[in-house]
Structure 1
């Protein structure tokens, strides 16, 4: 048996936008996802928007019962800013307060600790119209929203997270055109990243000012960058990819400052964001108690084969380009590489280079398109591939813990098949299958396996 430390967190993760549904009901205002779907439904798989997410807003009590059946002792979700404060920075929506209070109370009643995240890509449209994360007014509104959440729910919630994968709105919304507002401009992207860190730190400062008995952290998607070879050019490409996509957030939230190499690099190319007086002191005060780490696949890079065109937009790919390693293991149903050993590499990096900060796997999972083809005569999805995927990642995690890594838990993405940004329900990730026509919930084979793992605090 591979036994995990006593009190290990077993559970799963989701977000408000991807699970609640009822995205314009219950007093909630539009988020950028409601707006984008309204103006460009063709950008969403089968035209399905977040209004049709997996109905947690209506079925939360039954879903929490299923979490208990799955052996969860913890569960991460988020609060929708546009549901709690529909104007972004004004009156609180009491219906939302009641909803989130009921969810938190029920989780605790069922022995499931709530891990609550404040921002998961779902900017209120009214805040985006003021500039989104480019606006310092929005940064201050977010800090007020965060403090409101702490006051309302901090008597019961003791695990808080300011942002989920803050690099993703930077990449998607301001570099690569896969999130609204579909801007392609590196310097504006850098401003969004910097202001997000200031917002994070202001939330951390607000939390600590209240004297609550809990921990506050952030969720980062740490994707190890592996070079094609040990050639110095390939090594430099991997270092710079790591600098831009991992350390740009990891260093400030754990060490209180930007990596000097990042500042030097962006300064050399005239891409540093505008910094207000006092910003660096605010960021220094935002060092977290606890880190969540999302991991799905590795990043493999090589040195660029061609110099950028002098008129080309400045982009991260000036410094590296993707590399497809021959013989790599693939998820044939999703198109992503599977490299379980990266879980060990992440853990040892945090142990050796980040003061062995307390952390947990906040997302890991295997998406499968067309998963209904694995349905047995019993109507249950026979997802042995997901069991193997999780078991192999946990095995490498177990090895790292044995070597002293300070990992506290493992959360799968996700509890139930959920709506996923532009992909809607194309790829299924859950322990629980969601029938889109009837909203019926059915446990997959992997869910039964995970319940046993949680009960045993380990596996053979």
Structure 2
């Protein structure tokens, strides 16, 4: 078992606090074990507006539209966001496909660049209002709970060029106006909202590691953007509370457990630093209502502390979410630095190096990323033990394959992605174990419903329950979709018993 960073030194021997109040069971019969989940569990999929809707009719370009137009060579096979799944025109067909595989919930996002006509005042675009009403109504009419996110990496390009996007405090006010418009228009029918999906990703990609626009490399600016995103989140939460919409609001964080190479003090310290920067930096302020003092000290040491107003700090720590969304794909393994740090700007990597476990399991279809279902249990235990056991759900989990590995449509009309099914079962076994030990998890959303466009990777990797034919737009069911239908409709699955 790997040795983990300090904040993931978890109690692995906990027992359910009530001996049965979770209303689920774990029954063995022969070589098969049945894993059933709590009543009213959410089974669904996750996507986003910019990755599915297409660009038709938007009053503003997003940074992705503009970046692709200026540098299409940065995008896999030069496929940009202009067409994608065309959900804007095919939403009725898509909702029928959701229902066909048993989804009882679905997360997507409202595009800031589509909904808002006047980016300064927050006045809406009426065509967008009609589309989102129709899309959400279609889901609700088919028994699918829409869970709506407000920001999925898609800054309006005009705000990026004029103000620097979230480099500017002013843009946090504009985001709050956008959020208030969305709440006013749709708050009576949407009961679950999130402000941001993976807010650390625009910080990493746009200001540290050059895989999101604006492609800057500046540690101090990265810290400023991170703070301002949290401020925008807090202002949106304030709007939601003031408008008394009657639902719940949260945030979706990608929590990546950090595992060390060894039990040495140096490796454990490296894992502690990685966890501090990549997990606790957002998790502590938004769930624990406090900024980690160690993080502030390290940023100050590197002259990277953001410029803040004390009232805004309080605004962030005073904000309260109703639930947490958690995205998980791969673990992070690190070791103490063995080579000199050579970047000419600050990044968290000054404190560690990434490490590949020579005994690990790897996905041959996604850059040999490690497969570690145990991480789901570790995330759940960490939230339970260190974050007040806040209500949460697995907002994204997915197994990447490429077209060649999924293979052609079979004689029965189904694409055989059985590799994906086996791994999903392994992860859900670990989630079931965590719930049995008190984790307050209320659902699972798999990434994604239909193969969708994925930023600079475009369609390099496929995740969907349905394949998207890029030439025809046709959606084709995969075996994983049929497996998920049985899971969602029965609230349980059976597989060969697996050790924890």
Report TM bin, short chain. over 0.9
- Check if 1:39 corresponds to 2:70: yes
- Check if 1:425 corresponds to 2:456: no
Instruction: Give 1:132's aligned residue.
Output: 165
Q: Check the 8 A contact 2:407/2:416 in 1, yes or no.
A: no
Q: Check the 8 A contact 1:87/1:126 in 2, yes or no.
A: no
CA deviations on 1:23-42 (whole Å, 9 max, x unpaired) are 1x224310000000000000
- 1:118-157 to 2 correspondence within 5 Å? 118-129=150-161, 130-157=163-190
The partner residue of 2:110 within 60, 65, 79 is 79
Instruction: Give 1:459's aligned residue.
Output: 493
CA deviations on 1:399-444 (whole Å, 9 max, x unpaired) are 0000000000000000000000001111100001111111111110
How far the C-alpha of 1:380 sits from its partner, in A, is 1.9
How far the C-alpha of 1:52 sits from its partner, in A, is 1.9
Instruction: Give 2:61's aligned residue.
Output: 30
2:473 is paired with a residue whose SS is: coil
CA deviations on 1:273-311 (whole Å, 9 max, x unpaired) are 1112311111022221100000000000000013435x8
The partner residue of 1:95 within 116, 122, 127 is 127
Q: Which runs of 5+ in 2 are unaligned?
A: 1-33, 495-500
CA RMSD of aligned residues (A): 1.1
Instruction: Give 2:45's aligned residue.
Output: 12
Q: Check the 8 A contact 1:29/1:87 in 2, yes or no.
A: no
The partner residue of 1:114 within 121, 146, 158 is 146
- Check if 1:240 corresponds to 2:273: yes
Q: Check the 8 A contact 2:207/2:218 in 1, yes or no.
A: yes
Cα distance in 2, alignment partners of residues 208 and 319 from structure 1: 40
Q: Check the 8 A contact 1:118/1:162 in 2, yes or no.
A: yes
CA deviations on 1:357-383 (whole Å, 9 max, x unpaired) are 000000000111224525423342101
2:357 is paired with a residue whose SS is: coil
Cα distance in 2, alignment partners of residues 448 and 267 from structure 1: 52
Change beyond 3 A, Cα 1:396–1:164: same
Moved more, 219-228 or 362-371: 362-371
Q: Check the 8 A contact 1:257/1:280 in 2, yes or no.
A: no
Q: Check the 8 A contact 1:52/1:419 in 2, yes or no.
A: no
Instruction: Give 2:136's aligned residue.
Output: 104
1:118 is paired with a residue whose SS is: strand
CA deviations on 1:128-184 (whole Å, 9 max, x unpaired) are 112100011111000110011111100010100000000000000000010110000
Cα distance in 2, alignment partners of residues 88 and 337 from structure 1: 42
How far the C-alpha of 1:200 sits from its partner, in A, is 0.2
The partner residue of 2:401 within 353, 368, 372 is 368
Cα distance in 2, alignment partners of residues 304 and 332 from structure 1: 27
Instruction: Give 2:303's aligned residue.
Output: 270
2:50 is paired with a residue whose SS is: helix
1:219 is paired with a residue whose SS is: strand
Moved more, 367-376 or 207-216: 367-376
Cα distance in 2, alignment partners of residues 33 and 71 from structure 1: 32
How far the C-alpha of 1:96 sits from its partner, in A, is 0.3
Q: Which runs of 5+ in 1 are unaligned?
A: none
1:218 is paired with a residue whose SS is: strand
2:334 is paired with a residue whose SS is: strand
- Check if 1:391 corresponds to 2:428: no
* Matched length: 457
The partner residue of 2:318 within 285, 288, 295 is 285
Cα distance in 2, alignment partners of residues 105 and 407 from structure 1: 27
Moved more, 349-358 or 274-283: 274-283
TM-score (ref. length: structure 1):
0.98
How far the C-alpha of 1:195 sits from its partner, in A, is 0.2
Cα distance in 1, alignment partners of residues 118 and 152 from structure 2: 18
Cα distance in 2, alignment partners of residues 38 and 442 from structure 1: 30
2:272 is paired with a residue whose SS is: helix
Query: Once superposed, which parts of structure 1, at least 4 consecutive aligned residues long, lie more than 3 Å away?
Result: none
The partner residue of 1:345 within 364, 367, 378 is 378
Cα distance in 2, alignment partners of residues 357 and 392 from structure 1: 24
